[in-house]
A and B are shown apart, each in its own frame.
Chain A
């Protein structure tokens, strides 16, 4: 294992932010998916619960993604510019999704109580919540598959479509979506005070858990051919193997806990499962940032930038974590 320097620490900080984004904003996106799929006699109450759970926190949760972007262009500028070129189209779609999701949610909350307004913005919010994780996942798939390379001049399709359009990348997209929907449903079981609504989300969480398992298997099979480097890492690397094992344990515990209605345990296990999956991917491709051409050391900014950014992160964390703790204590300490 190579020594860990400032560059590796900062790459780690990027994965930590991504992790926080997936656990927090991922659940907000998943909430939107359940808004779209709300059915049955308690449809309105399900939607109300979702809106209530997302309202105070989504903007703060969203900032994790901005932190990822900022760290990337500060510390690994070549990676940022290569991603921005090869994934121009899907990243633009992500942006449109983010804009529509956030503004439609707010317009629904403040735009008046009448039913047509609520329905219209609710629909936009929900559809954008579905599309955005899908495309975001596709971008991750493109990185893992080693398709993010500088344009070769071989034509539009080769340079700007090929990097991200493949069965593997799409399956990573679907996997991301299923994962977000799963954790959202698990969290919502804890947010709900009404036992019927809670039961609704328990059933949804179980279904989504099954979907996650199915899509994970498909993705892994596709990875064998499409993302050999990551596949190798996932299957054989001594770094990633323990994480594969932990992922399996966490997933089993999460489903079991849901089955037995142990919701607090289910939430912890689901969060652990998602975390292990993310770190499993990160460690499988370590030390590559954009396999197979850009690694951490090769892409890192000059040492002074890295040092200062680490300092800024330390300083920021000092402000951030107490504030976040307070936010979640105020709004998440009792069910709705």
Chain B
């Protein structure tokens, strides 16, 4: 494996690992706070048990998120010193602000986790609110830095060196709003669906358990609205990509030729030899509509992009299909659940919905990995779009395959341990017998 490929793979591995934990760090605090607030208002012990159990799980995931995030901040330099030397002065600002968001998050998480009986209930809830808020903020800041890599602004390039730099304009780059909105919604949709899905699964086996019913409701409360909004936000992102990153859009859609009234291709496998898409479904005018909101608009294809500036088309196309497919499914399931609620029916009573929710529990996370693949692989061969090539940014240090191997084993090991801990410590049903029958106190039901 070449050193460049090893570095790219290691970066992808570390980011792909970190994002799972970062997303939970954004979404779970909101769920904990919702449960704890309910406990303060109604004094129902189920809510307290939920808040405590979720905070235990969050503690494990947060720690792994914190250490894997630390790895990333070093890795940006260890693997891409050329990139950091150029980008540091421009995007250091969001990273510095992110640093303070981490401080707030870590401080109040410590207080939240260890302070149950040391501070007043209201102070405790407030600590949770601060964790939830600073989690969102830290995500937003780092995604702004990434948006700048996609749509770099705030400098003039003279002989390959950025001059007249303006970090504020870099912060307000054209993709910043779209990406941060889409990512924040993704975090809520993914965690909400994961929680709702796990408890839907447990409800299928244990339908009367009030604990799981409450967890399901709270998971849906956080996940369903976000999942409904996500396709809208994705549409805003897509139009932004069409405007600023035509090569990425062309790869996402496997559009080899520039044309007016371009169709949207669903699924399929791009054949690089013949420059066609095999086995895809064409929706006439779909792409022109999506990218420019005009069925006859011209969409730039890969033929307008120099061959050595093409990203890997099959990967980007397939990843985009996966994300959009999942987005559609999640929005549909969310709409179903909300429709039941509008008709005053309990989603926990609807077995088909429970099955659908259980099946979609991991989907949000898959969509997030796919979406980042679109963003990052679709930017290749650039690390800073149009400015600096990935191959120019990589470290001269040889033997990167070995560090890649080491980190792969390390992350594999951590992933297995975390999964095992979550399974054995957090996701079992609580032992309180009485909660099993809170909802329908009939004797002799199906599970008596």
A-side residues, CB < 8 A to B, are 55-57, 59-60, 62-63, 65-67, 69-71, 73-75, 77-78, 80-85, 88, 91-92, 94-96, 98-103, 105-107, 109-112, 151, 156, 160, 301-302, 304-305, 308-309, 312-313, 315-316, 319-320, 323-324, 326-327, 330-331
Tell which of A74, A77, A92, A109 touches B96, judged by Cβ atoms closer than 8 Å.
A74
Cα–Cα, bound, A330→B110 (Å) = 10
Contact check, A99 vs B68: say whether CB atoms are below 8 A apart: yes
Contact check, B108 vs A323: say whether CB atoms are below 8 A apart: yes
Q: Contacts of B414 on A, CB cut-off 8 Å?
A: 99, 103
Tell which of B59, B81, B92 touches A110, judged by Cβ atoms closer than 8 Å.
B59
Q: Contacts of B424 on A, CB cut-off 8 Å?
A: 112
* Stretch from B202-210, B275-283, B331-339, B393-401 forming part of the interface with A: B393-401
Q: Contacts of A57 on B, CB cut-off 8 Å?
A: 110
At the interface, yes or no: B301 with Cβ under 8 Å from chain A? no
**Residue in A closest to B102 when the chains form the complex, CB atoms:** A63
Contact check, B93 vs A74: say whether CB atoms are below 8 A apart: yes
Contact check, A92 vs B60: say whether CB atoms are below 8 A apart: no
Tell which of A92, A309, A320 touches B92, judged by Cβ atoms closer than 8 Å.
A309
Contact check, B84 vs A73: say whether CB atoms are below 8 A apart: yes
Contact check, A70 vs B99: say whether CB atoms are below 8 A apart: yes
Contact check, B77 vs A56: say whether CB atoms are below 8 A apart: no
Contact check, B395 vs A88: say whether CB atoms are below 8 A apart: yes
Contact check, B70 vs A73: say whether CB atoms are below 8 A apart: no
Q: Contacts of A327 on B, CB cut-off 8 Å?
A: 107, 110-111
Contact check, A60 vs B106: say whether CB atoms are below 8 A apart: yes
Tell which of A69, A78, A88, A323 touches B397, judged by Cβ atoms closer than 8 Å.
A88
At the interface, yes or no: B439 with Cβ under 8 Å from chain A? no
At the interface, yes or no: B403 with Cβ under 8 Å from chain A? yes
Cα–Cα, bound, A156→B75 (Å) = 20
Q: Contacts of B78 on A, CB cut-off 8 Å?
A: 84, 88, 91-92
Q: Contacts of B42 on A, CB cut-off 8 Å?
A: none
Q: Contacts of A56 on B, CB cut-off 8 Å?
A: 110-111, 113-115
- A115 CB to closest chain B CB (Å) equals 16
Tell which of B67, B110, B167 touches A99, judged by Cβ atoms closer than 8 Å.
B67
**Residue in B closest to A105 when the chains form the complex, CB atoms:** B63
At the interface, yes or no: B355 with Cβ under 8 Å from chain A? no
Contact check, B106 vs A62: say whether CB atoms are below 8 A apart: yes
- Given the known inter-chain contacts A308-B167, A330-B111, A330-B119, please indicate yes or no for A80 contacting B84, CB distance below 8 A: yes
Contact check, B110 vs A84: say whether CB atoms are below 8 A apart: no
At the interface, yes or no: B66 with Cβ under 8 Å from chain A? yes
- B52 CB to closest chain A CB (Å) equals 12
Contact check, B100 vs A59: say whether CB atoms are below 8 A apart: no
At the interface, yes or no: B320 with Cβ under 8 Å from chain A? no
| Additional 15 contacts, C-beta under 8 A, given A74-B93, A95-B71, A323-B103 | A56-B115, A59-B63, A60-B103, A73-B84, A84-B77, A84-B78, A84-B84, A88-B395, A91-B74, A103-B67, A304-B166, A319-B104, A326-B107, A330-B118, A331-B110
B-side residues, CB < 8 A to A, are 56, 59-60, 62-64, 66-71, 73-78, 81-82, 84-86, 88-90, 92-93, 95-100, 102-104, 106-111, 113-115, 118-119, 165-168, 395-399, 403, 406, 410, 414, 417, 421, 424-425
Tell which of A69, A78, A106 touches B60, judged by Cβ atoms closer than 8 Å.
A106
Q: List 12 A-B residue pairs with CB atoms under 8 Å apart, sorted by A's residue number.
A: A56-B111, A66-B70, A71-B92, A73-B95, A74-B89, A85-B396, A92-B406, A95-B75, A99-B414, A102-B63, A305-B89, A327-B107
Tell which of B86, B106, B397 touches A63, judged by Cβ atoms closer than 8 Å.
B106
Cα–Cα, bound, A313→B98 (Å) = 11
Contact check, A80 vs B85: say whether CB atoms are below 8 A apart: yes
Q: Contacts of B64 on A, CB cut-off 8 Å?
A: 102-103, 106
Contact check, A62 vs B66: say whether CB atoms are below 8 A apart: yes
Contact check, A95 vs B70: say whether CB atoms are below 8 A apart: yes
**Residue in A closest to B417 when the chains form the complex, CB atoms:** A107
Contact check, B88 vs A74: say whether CB atoms are below 8 A apart: yes
Q: Which 8 A-B pairs have the closest CB atoms?
A: A74-B92, A84-B77, A81-B81, A316-B100, A77-B88, A301-B89, A106-B63, A56-B110
**Residue in B closest to A17 when the chains form the complex, CB atoms:** B99
**Residue in A closest to B71 when the chains form the complex, CB atoms:** A95
Cα–Cα, bound, A69→B96 (Å) = 10
Cα–Cα, bound, A105→B98 (Å) = 25
Q: Contacts of A160 on B, CB cut-off 8 Å?
A: 397
Contact check, B395 vs A302: say whether CB atoms are below 8 A apart: no
Output the residue of B63, B98, B166 with the most chain A CB within 10 A.
B63
- A330 CB to closest chain B CB (Å) equals 5
Q: Contacts of A98 on B, CB cut-off 8 Å?
A: 67, 70-71
- A171 CB to closest chain B CB (Å) equals 24
Contact check, B77 vs A66: say whether CB atoms are below 8 A apart: no
Q: Contacts of A91 on B, CB cut-off 8 Å?
A: 74, 78
**Residue in B closest to A71 when the chains form the complex, CB atoms:** B96
Contact check, B167 vs A304: say whether CB atoms are below 8 A apart: yes
Contact check, A63 vs B168: say whether CB atoms are below 8 A apart: no
Contact check, B109 vs A59: say whether CB atoms are below 8 A apart: yes
Contact check, B88 vs A73: say whether CB atoms are below 8 A apart: yes
Cα–Cα, bound, A60→B127 (Å) = 14
**Residue in A closest to B421 when the chains form the complex, CB atoms:** A111
Q: Contacts of A323 on B, CB cut-off 8 Å?
A: 103-104, 107-108
Contact check, B74 vs A95: say whether CB atoms are below 8 A apart: yes
- A320 CB to closest chain B CB (Å) equals 5
- A32 CB to closest chain B CB (Å) equals 14
- B394 CB to closest chain A CB (Å) equals 11
- B104 CB to closest chain A CB (Å) equals 6
- B409 CB to closest chain A CB (Å) equals 10
- A130 CB to closest chain B CB (Å) equals 17
Contact check, A112 vs B425: say whether CB atoms are below 8 A apart: yes
Cα–Cα, bound, A164→B23 (Å) = 37
Q: Contacts of A95 on B, CB cut-off 8 Å?
A: 70-71, 74-75
Output the residue of B84, B90, B97, B119 with the most chain A CB within 10 A.
B84
Contact check, A305 vs B70: say whether CB atoms are below 8 A apart: no
Tell which of B69, B89, B115 touches A302, judged by Cβ atoms closer than 8 Å.
B89
Cα–Cα, bound, A204→B74 (Å) = 34
Tell which of B63, B81, B93 touches A84, judged by Cβ atoms closer than 8 Å.
B81
- B362 CB to closest chain A CB (Å) equals 22
**Residue in B closest to A121 when the chains form the complex, CB atoms:** B417
Cα–Cα, bound, A74→B73 (Å) = 12
- B102 CB to closest chain A CB (Å) equals 5
Q: Contacts of B110 on A, CB cut-off 8 Å?
A: 55-57, 59-60, 327, 331
- A51 CB to closest chain B CB (Å) equals 11
Cα–Cα, bound, A315→B100 (Å) = 9
Contact check, A69 vs B74: say whether CB atoms are below 8 A apart: yes
- B61 CB to closest chain A CB (Å) equals 9
Contact check, A331 vs B92: say whether CB atoms are below 8 A apart: no
